[in-house]
Structure 1
Amino acid sequence: MLQESAIGWLYGLVGKAAPDEGWADDEHIRYGLYQECLAGCSEDTSDDTEEAIVGIVVQDPDRTMAEATLVWHVDRLAPAYGPAEAFAARVRVIAVLAPGFDFLQTRIEHWQLVKRAETDPEGSLAGILAGTHWLQRTIVETSDSPLLLTALAEHGGSRRVRNTAADRLRRASSGVRRNPG
């Protein structure tokens, strides 16, 4: 069970006073607080602070909400980290503190594969083809690798993935740049 002192500390991180009541029974209040605290974590945040926040989140009695919070945090962090090694180092503490959160662990693994695909498309291909639709869509939307796009256009797990990959290949071959929005 969450300790009142832990919630008070989180509210202090975001410069707010903890409410006298309501937070313990309302996962929406806690979810918003967790997001606000994790959003404040940047490259400049000490590892101890982020570790403490994650440690509080994983103790939340609503495990689904806790896992959703951490997936949100990982999804927010991933685009900011270039090399796979930098991203892996950044999310290592999250993975260690949340061993029973299978969906989170899978999302971390998938982001690591997305990052590896940027520098080693050939070495990442088998994992991408065997991956989830989310992973394949993310690769199709972010990669410029002709190898990956061709493979996903032919063998993607959904029509959306196959069509998007084929469209990206056609645009690349005609010199049309994709719409960044």
Structure 2
Amino acid sequence: MGNAASVDDPDRDPDEHVRFALCRRAFYEVAAEDAAALVTRVLTDPDVGMANGAVCEYLDRRAAELLTDPGYLSWCREMTGPVAVDDYSARRLREWSLARAMTLGEPWDVETLLGASNWLQLYTAEESWTVIALAELAEGGRTRRIRNIAKSRLPVARLPVADATRNGSLRSCAAAAGPPPPPRAVGRFAPTGAGGAASLSGSLPGPDTFGVLVDGKS
């Protein structure tokens, strides 16, 4: 698996930035059938933040690629076991499944979206064409930025006249707003700037760079 041997090396570099870069490269080079095993190994690193940062970047990239593809379901099943040991990674995988349900117009729960992480709420506000999701975030998004972005996109999302249904107290929703544009990954890594401040990146960086997760993780 390319540099995966370095990931398992008991004498690995103590610098978490170096290990993070090695993990990232391993995820870019890993074969699909070996990805779950690599996730398992990376999540054994004692630096939890470094490990789940590298894993979540892989989840973001791969989930965005498969979001509307039938292959997402089998990939998600393969990842569920390995990420179960890390709450942060497991939550990211669950939230990608919610994003997929909203994108495909499958049943989903409004309360789950409103209780989701800042990452998913911002992703939905920026990328979703699901009217009910944007309307709920425009009113109840966790941050002012999320609310403002969702509110600004509502008029455009409503142009195809999408209907949303609510099902009793569960408030299950199904939206049909026409075919969505190709999704892009968010919650990406960006190079660390002066003073260690993270900046948003316009696209996924290559495997030879490293930085910090910019999705509101604390």
Q: State TM-score, norm by structure 2.
A: 0.62
Q: Is the 8 A contact 2:67 2:100 kept in 1?
A: yes
Q: Is the 8 A contact 1:143 1:149 kept in 2?
A: yes
Q: Which structure features the higher share of helix residues?
A: 1
Return the offset for 1:151: 1.9
Indicate the percent of aligned positions where both proteins have the same amino acid.
26
Name the structure 2 match of 1:118.
103
Q: How does 1:12-161 map to 2 (within 5 A)?
A: 23-41=12-30, 45-47=31-33, 49-83=34-68, 86-120=71-105, 123-161=108-146
**1:103 to 1:125, Cα distance in 2 relative to 1, 3 A:** same
Return the offset for 1:85: 5.6
Name the structure 2 match of 1:11.
3
**Aligned residues between the structures:** 162
Q: Deviations over 1:30-81 (max 9, x none)?
A: 211110010124xxx341x223322321222222211111111111112101
Name the structure 2 match of 1:3.
none
Unaligned runs of 5+ in 2: 161-183, 185-201, 203-218
Q: Deviations over 1:90-122 (max 9, x none)?
A: 133333123221111111111110011112366
Aligned counterparts of 1:60 and 1:144: Cα–Cα separation in 2: 38
Name the structure 1 match of 2:155.
170
**1:95 to 1:173, Cα distance in 2 relative to 1, 3 A:** closer
Q: Is the 8 A contact 2:37 2:82 kept in 1?
A: no
What amino acid is aligned across from residue 79 of structure 2 in structure 1?
I
**1:98 to 1:144, Cα distance in 2 relative to 1, 3 A:** closer
**1:149 to 1:113, Cα distance in 2 relative to 1, 3 A:** same
Return the offset for 1:83: 3.2
| Partner SS state of residue 23, structure 1 | coil
Higher relative contact order (CA 8 A, sep 6+): 2
Q: Deviations over 1:10-49 (max 9, x none)?
A: 5378xxx99x9973422222211110010124xxx341x2
Return the offset for 1:84: 7.5
Unaligned runs of 5+ in 1: 1-8
